[in-house]
Amino acid sequence: MKLANTDNPVRAGWLLEQSARLDAAPYLSGAYEARKLLERLPRTEPLKEVTRRGNGIFHAGRVSRRWVSSPEHGVPFFSSTDILESDFSFLPYIARSVVKENPRLTIEQGWTLITRSGTIGRISYVRPDVDGYACSEDVLRVVPRSNKILSGYLNAFLQSRYGIPIIVSQASGSIVQHIEPSHIADLPVPRFESDVEERIHELIQSAANLRAEFQSGVRAATADLFKSAGLADLADLRWHEKPRALGFPVEGVNANSIRASNYDARTGRIMSILKSIPHRTLGDICEAGKLGSGSRFKRIEADPNHGAALLVGQKDGFWMRPEGRWINPARAPREIFADDESVMIASQGLPGESALICRAAFVTGNWTEYVYTQHFLRVVSGQPEFPGAYLFAFLRSEAAFRCLRSMLVGTGPQDIHPVLRAELPIPLCTPADRERIANTVRSAYRDRDEADRLEDEALRLLDEAVRDAAR
């Protein structure tokens, strides 16, 4: 049951504005409550007045998308879902010629991105390492006017408990909802003393910088692993530039599988290279740990303020902030929790090129507090000399991803073959190399957790400022 906020209760004037409606829906949506609270502030400005003149709120417009396989001829491209991810290493490349034809596709550091079609109101801040990337027309760009407002402060308000409900409430459409720039142009932006806004901006900007450090850290760890193992050729795989395996002889077929894709010649060459150097199999490393899917269980929803745990699924397991359901962990098996430094591999689904299946995520720090669906393959090292952080540095690579993709079985939703996945070769770097690589991953994830903490602090300061000013 949802109750009105006692700090901002329903007033008689609200009833009159809603034609004396006595049902709860208009007053509990969040948008109406937020707008009425903002009206009590001594100073607000319309969003259009604090954004760039002329085109401060815009989308790119429809384009004919042409995809390429190499960064030399393409620009990394965000879909409306990609802007939520924490690791941007797996973005597709849109042709540079398309971006040249429509420069509005390009995004810049400090902008705020808002999903505008389908699921409305998901928000992301353009961090420094993605400056110049391209982004879908399904995402609104909000460009702050530098002499009027700080970019981090504007982003904090738009993603706050006051900004998001109002943005979402402006959606139109009966099937696929959407918003246009004009729909949010008059959104009231609260203004405070410069020191308050500067502090909030600094926190958001520091969080963005730390997330950029996280990105460079996990990439550096993977590159270091392949270099240390003598596998420089696999570090930049260029999968789509390799000839497709349309017909090839196979030797050593056994009862484990007679599916052609499990013997793909391209991944066969990768496996041969991995086996040509000192290695251990994934099954051997995880023999005393875990290499299997989680338990199926009934979800019993619960209140996050009363012992509930956030259930993370395959989709939001790769986002900066998960948005799963809150469930009662006491009514579920213990296996829904993940040990520190577990690697979670999305293992069930359909293998489209943009699908998540076989992508690897790393559980440490704050993410050990969450619980995870059975659709993840749990990879837990049973040998201290092969820490989970080291395994993740390899399993997040394109080479490991393609090998795992070649092990899929099933006709509808597919899964990773239990025998084949145990045979995946893991490069055997020296102990010093393994420790260095693992520490790089750990440092990157500490940066990510700190970024989340700073962002939460910024939103807390904004909330305090709004409530203090509204009294």
**Residue 236 has what pLDDT?**
86
Asked if 417 and 377 touch (Cβ cutoff 8 Å), the reply is no
Which residues neighbour 244 within 8 Å (Cβ) at sequence distance 6 or greater?
Answer: 266
| Antiparallel, parallel or unpaired: β 74-78 and 134-135 | parallel
Give the separation between CA 88 and CA 130, rounded to whole angstroms. 9
121: tokens are 């109101």
CA 228 from chain center: how many Å? 29
**Residue 122 has what pLDDT?**
93
**Residue 20 has what pLDDT?**
60
Predicted structure pTM score: 0.92
**Residue 1 has what pLDDT?**
44
Asked if 67 and 54 touch (Cβ cutoff 8 Å), the reply is no
Asked if 190 and 157 touch (Cβ cutoff 8 Å), the reply is yes
Inter-axis angle of helices 431-470 and 151-158, to 10 degrees?
A: 80
Calculated CA dihedral for residues 428, 433, 435, 437, nearest 10 degrees: -100
Give 10-residue mean pLDDT values along the chain (471 residues).
59 63 60 88 96 93 91 94 94 96 96 93 96 96 96 98 92 82 95 97 98 98 97 87 78 81 89 95 97 89 90 94 91 91 96 92 96 96 97 97 95 92 97 98 98 98 95 83
183: tokens are 């729909």
**Residue 294 has what pLDDT?**
83
Distance (Å) of CA 334 to CA 296, 309, 330, 339, 374: 11, 12, 8, 11, 12
Domains of the chain and CATH, by start = 1-40 (no CATH), 43-191 (3.90.220.20), 230-247+256-428 (3.90.220.20)
The values of phi and psi at residue 9, to 5°, are -70, 160
**Residue 230 has what pLDDT?**
95
Give me the residues paired with residue 426 across strands.
280
**Residue 395 has what pLDDT?**
98
